[in-house]
């Protein structure tokens, strides 16, 4: 597939003032409200990669079996795209492109069986492959089919499969790229996306020491440019001394708009609440005589002056860590283990985000080969999420969860009873009495 119509999308990076771009990136990295701080460095971000991969596998399986259905709502695709859309501001609205628009008959992957299969083949190829050439080949094969309404918004799925190959895609990222480079990338066309991708790779390579191999970082920079949080350095004829001075002055300003500050404060509040509940479960597990494991990416978080991992296991038992799902299991929020290393209980704390990633980690644990691991699995969430959790569990994609007897443990019950349990409880019986059946 030729990409010549948008060749300027990649070549325009060559003419950038990279000293100015470097200054922009440094300022952006230090900004507490930037996507770099609020999303890219967010500990929960990487937890979702495996679960989204598993979700894409489920989508492909259902399409191949012809059980996917003819609507986005209620489908396995809605589940996985919904978990992407909850990745804070970077992916807000990621599901819009997949919503069925009946008057336009788009995206045409619900009513046209052959188009649906072509979409599944692209996802499966990208899920299983390892090279850039294979990913690009799968995209080009899909593009040649010309499926109406299925544009590069699907690249957001590919990003979670290959974060070093496929950058995320949305309106703000495109606007930011055009503002920075002077390109004229258009929305909705795969060839435009591929040309922009070449430019993004060139930009990332030029500033690798400030960005990352993970293309989410450079995409976050472009998102903040396209959203208006930052202004791109002046280019070409507009690059006058006055314009450059105005740009530097803007760069030095403190970004403290009310909306961004509110979003940042809310994100921090959610992280604190999540950490607090993990601390409750840590202390409760130790009081009941269990060894405790804290999720690998949460170990250094602090609660009341202590690291979450203080007094906990420093490594998983070898049988769990060495298994094919060892990495995913290590990211479960809290594990209670018997002295011999068997998992007695697993807890996923879902403060505000989708329960999907937590459920997938529970499934990984249940299928790890330990027959006892399928018992004592709990979704811990605010009391107000009771009906939401039950609604999610009723999705066909989660039918296996009901079989595994995963239960719901409300914050309120945990908070009201934890001190009494710590004093008088024994084993898992008190927790089992507080938890609610989801079947």
What does the buried/exposed string (b/e) look like for 69-89 if buried means 16 or more CB atoms within 10 Å of the residue's CB? beebeebbbbbbbbbbbbbbb
Distance CA 255, CA 285 (A): 42
What does the buried/exposed string (b/e) look like for 165-183 if buried means 16 or more CB atoms within 10 Å of the residue's CB? bbbbbbebbbbbbbbbbbb
Element of type H or E holding 141: helix 132-145
Strand pairing category for 436-437 and 334-337 = unpaired
- pLDDT tens string, the chain, 439 residues long: the values are 444 445 566 667 777 899 999 999 999 999 988 999 989 998 778 878 888 898 899 999 999 999 998 889 888 899 889 888 877 778 888 889 999 898 889 999 999 999 999 999 999 999 999 999 999 999 999 999 999 999 999 999 999 999 999 999 999 999 999 999 999 999 989 999 999 999 999 999 999 999 999 999 999 999 999 999 999 999 888 889 999 999 999 998 867 665 556 665 555 555 558 889 999 999 999 999 999 999 998 999 888 889 999 999 999 998 888 887 788 889 899 999 998 888 999 999 986 666 777 777 877 777 766 555 556 889 898 888 888 777 777 776 666 666 677 888 988 889 899 999 998 888 888 898 899 887 6
Domain locations in the chain as residue ranges:
4-252, 265-437
What angle (nearest 5°) sits at the alpha carbon of residue 318, between those of residues 312 and 323? 120
Count of residues in the chain: 439
Peptide bond into 136 cis (omega under 30): no
Identify whether the C-beta of residue 277 lies closer than 8 Å to the C-beta of residue 298: no
What angle (nearest 5°) sits at the alpha carbon of residue 44, between those of residues 343 and 161? 95
């Amino acid at each position: 597939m030729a990409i010549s119509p948008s060749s300027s999308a990649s070549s325009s990076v060559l003419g950038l003032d990279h000293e100015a771009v470097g200054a922009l990136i440094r300022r952006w990295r230090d900004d507490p409200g930037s996507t770099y701080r609020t999303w890219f460095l967010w500990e929960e971000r990487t937890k979702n990669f495996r679960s989204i991969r598993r979700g894409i596998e489920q989508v492909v399986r259902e399409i191949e079996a012809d059980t996917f259905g003819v609507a986005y709502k209620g489908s396995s695709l809605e589940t996985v795209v919904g978990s992407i859309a909850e990745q804070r501001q970077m992916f807000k609205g990621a599901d819009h492109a997949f919503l069925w628009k009946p008057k336009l008959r788009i995206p045409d992957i619900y009513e046209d069986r052959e188009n649906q299969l072509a979409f599944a083949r692209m996802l499966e190829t990208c899920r299983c492959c390892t090279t850039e050439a294979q990913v690009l080949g799968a995209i080009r094969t899909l593009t040649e089919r010309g499926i109406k309404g299925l544009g590069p918004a699907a690249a957001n799925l590919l990003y979670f499969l290959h974060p070093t190959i496929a950058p995320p895609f949305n309106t703000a990222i495109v606007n930011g790229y055009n503002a920075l480079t002077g390109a004229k990338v258009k929305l909705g066309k795969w060839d435009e996306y591929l040309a922009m991708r070449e430019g993004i790779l060139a930009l990332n390579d030029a500033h690798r020491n400030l960005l990352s191999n993970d293309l989410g970082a450079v995409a976050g920079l472009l998102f903040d440019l396209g959203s208006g949080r930052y202004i791109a350095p002046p280019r070409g004829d507009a690059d006058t001394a006055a314009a450059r001075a105005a740009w530097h002055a803007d760069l030095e300003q403190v970004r403290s708009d009310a909306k961004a500050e509110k979003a940042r404060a809310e994100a921090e509040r959610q992280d604190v609440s999540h950490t607090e509940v993990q601390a409750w479960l840590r202390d409760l597990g130790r009081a009941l005589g269990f060894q405790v494991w804290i999720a690998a990416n949460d170990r250094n978080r602090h609660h009341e002056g202590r690291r979450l991992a203080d007094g906990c296991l420093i490594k998983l038992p070898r049988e769990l860590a060495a298994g094919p799902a060892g990495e995913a299991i290590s990211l479960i929020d809290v594990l209670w283990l018997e002295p011999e290393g068997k998992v007695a209980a697993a807890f996923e704390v879902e403060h505000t985000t989708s329960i999907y990633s937590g459920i997938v980690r529970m499934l990984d644990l249940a299928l790890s080969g330990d027959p006892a691991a399928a018992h004592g699995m709990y979704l811990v969430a605010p009391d107000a999420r009771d009906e939401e959790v039950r609604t999610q569990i009723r999705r066909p994609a989660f039918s296996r969860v009901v079989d595994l007897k995963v239960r719901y443990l409300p914050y309120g019950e945990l908070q009201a009873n934890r001190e009494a349990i710590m004093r008088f409880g024994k084993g898992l019986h008190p927790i089992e009495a507080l938890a609610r059946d989801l079947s």
